[in-house]
């Protein structure tokens, strides 16, 4: 059992410094730190509360690891009173290397069904059965359809989990499901929409589906296919839907078509370590509070904390991941009480830097070098790839600006010296 409080030992710190764990439920209550001003989700919460629409669609884009998933948990809490919030994490249910709009709609339908059933909302059972009938007759196999006839909720949830696991891991199954869903999509949408309308009728609450994880898709072209070519289908469910998408997609020509098709686009900013003029940002304090919320002061030397903050570039996942690696190193050298020092943080930084050193291409290094020397940001495929792999970070504040990830900068400087580009 992980103690959900500031860690008192490095062993506890390693457990609570999980970079892959989004804050929700008890973890949200224990470790959430509010972001300052307009740097969080509150502007979007305000807009969604003011907008009386029942089927508007929102695209939310920002860097991977910037804290979007955690802020979406806050959005869900804020809207829970007058919305049935349905959370769909595509990273857990689909294959990030191969997602089609039909896959998304199939998963959205199942997520709505599960949420309605688990919430105990008294909808007309015919609408639930009609939706399940589509899945039974179109995409589920015989052994799976027998489980759907069970009255045991746990068995149904387990079936849906197994279905998504197979959808994610078995390409032939994925192709069959996709082909069947595309051929009979209008029927699925009709059945889903009747259920959504009944939820609204019975509860007086709107339905908001939060589709998280699409910002982690490997291929930007796949995102374009989803939100440009598949936009019409994704707009069809008669509920509110919020999709997270990669920041880099905003730098494509096709994004403007998606921006016009969807009801709103919200840019989620990265926390700043430095301001554009090179002065320290006030947002550093938020990053300090995040570290303090995860571990007691005696476990982390002040200089080491500042090193972690600067190396993170303001990416929360990077901050937590670096802190965890430094914790592991300090635990080996100093034992349970630590503390984590500068040399332990330097070790963690080297691991991430080596990963970038191995991954960056000559073309990418040349572009990073040009930008490091003050060159203007230009919308090109290589620039988009740098934003997508986080070696180039975008910040907001008196206009948009870009900076090399602090961990990547030395890699670029080494490359410049090696090839006489200084």
Instruction: Out of 324, 358, 392, pick the residue that ends a domain.
Output: 358
Task: Answer yes or no: is pLDDT of 148 > 70.
Answer: no
What are the strands, taking DSSP E only, across 32-82?
A: 57-62
Report the pLDDT value the prediction gives residue 150, as an integer from 0 to 100. 57
Alpha helices in 120-263 (DSSP H): 125-138, 142-148, 153-169, 171-183, 185-203, 220-224, 231-234, 255-261
| Cα dihedral sign, 276-279-282-283 | positive
CA distances from 278 to 250, 396, 403 (A): 26, 14, 11
Q: Are residues 108 and 153 in the same domain?
A: yes
Indicate whether 7 belongs to any domain: no
Place of tokens 């746990």: 154
**What residue numbers bound the domain in which 403 lies?**
360-418
| Cα dihedral sign, 302-27-34-324 | positive
Task: Answer yes or no: is pLDDT of 146 > 80.
Answer: no
Indicate whether 180 belongs to any domain: yes
Q: Are residues 201 and 322 in the same domain?
A: no
Task: Name beta bridge partners: 86.
Answer: 209
CATH of the domain at 182: 3.40.50
Report the pLDDT value the prediction gives residue 147, as an integer from 0 to 100. 65
Report the pLDDT value the prediction gives residue 151, as an integer from 0 to 100. 53
* For residues 274-279, average pLDDT: 90
Report the pLDDT value the prediction gives residue 225, as an integer from 0 to 100. 81
Report the pLDDT value the prediction gives residue 224, as an integer from 0 to 100. 80
Q: Rounded to two decimals, what is the model's pTM?
A: 0.91
Residue 336's pLDDT band (cuts 50, 70, 90) = very high
Element (H, E) at 109: helix 101-119
Q: Are residues 220 and 113 in the same domain?
A: yes
Residue 40's pLDDT band (cuts 50, 70, 90) = confident
Instruction: Out of 317, 337, 358, pick the residue that ends a domain.
Output: 358
Indicate whether 1 belongs to any domain: no
Report the pLDDT value the prediction gives residue 347, as an integer from 0 to 100. 97
Report the pLDDT value the prediction gives residue 399, as an integer from 0 to 100. 82
């Amino acid at each position: 059992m992980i103690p959900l409080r500031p860690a008192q030992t490095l062993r506890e710190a390693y457990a609570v410094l999980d970079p892959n764990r989004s804050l929700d439920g008890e973890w949200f209550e224990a470790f959430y730190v509010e972001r300052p001003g307009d740097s969080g989700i509150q502007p979007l919460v305000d807009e969604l509360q003011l907008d009386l629409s029942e089927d508007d669609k929102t695209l939310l884009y920002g860097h991977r690891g910037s804290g979007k998933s955690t802020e979406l948990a806050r959005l869900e809490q804020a809207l829970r009173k007058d919305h049935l919030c349905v959370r769909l994490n595509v990273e857990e249910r689909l294959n990030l290397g191969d997602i089609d709009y039909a896959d998304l709609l199939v998963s959205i339908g199942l997520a709505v069904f599960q949420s309605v059933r688990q919430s105990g909302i008294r909808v007309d059972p015919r609408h639930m059965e009609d939706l399940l009938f589509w899945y039974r007759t179109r995409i589920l196999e015989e052994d799976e359809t027998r489980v759907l006839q069970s009255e045991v909720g746990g068995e149904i949830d387990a079936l849906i989990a197994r279905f998504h696991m197979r959808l994610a891991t078995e390409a032939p199954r994925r192709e069959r499901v996709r082909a069947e869903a595309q051929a009979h999509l209008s029927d699925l949408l009709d059945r889903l929409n009747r259920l959504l309308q009944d939820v609204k009728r019975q509860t007086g609450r709107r339905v908001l589906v939060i589709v998280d994880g699409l910002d982690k898709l490997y291929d930007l072209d796949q995102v374009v296919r989803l939100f440009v070519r598949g936009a019409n289908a994704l707009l069809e469910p008669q509920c509110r839907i919020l999709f997270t998408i990669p920041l880099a997609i905003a730098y494509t020509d096709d994004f403007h078509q998606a921006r016009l098709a969807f009801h709103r686009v919200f840019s989620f900013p990265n926390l700043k370590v430095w301001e554009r003029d090179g002065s320290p940002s006030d947002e550093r304090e938020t990053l300090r509070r995040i570290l303090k919320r995860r571990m007691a002061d005696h476990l982390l030397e002040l200089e080491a904390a500042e090193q972690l903050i600067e190396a993170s570039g303001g990416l929360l996942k990077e901050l937590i991941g670096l802190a965890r690696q430094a914790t592991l190193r300090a635990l080996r050298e100093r034992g349970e009480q630590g503390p984590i020092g500068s040399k332990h943080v330097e070790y963690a930084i080297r691991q991430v830097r080596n990963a970038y050193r191995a991954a960056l291409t000559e073309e990418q290094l040349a572009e990073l070098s040009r930008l490091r020397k003050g060159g203007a940001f230009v919308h090109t495929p290589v620039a988009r790839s740098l934003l997508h792999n986080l070696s180039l970070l975008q910040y907001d504040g008196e206009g948009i600006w870009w900076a090399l990830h602090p961990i990547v900068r030395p890699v670029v400087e080494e490359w410049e010296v090696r090839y006489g580009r200084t």
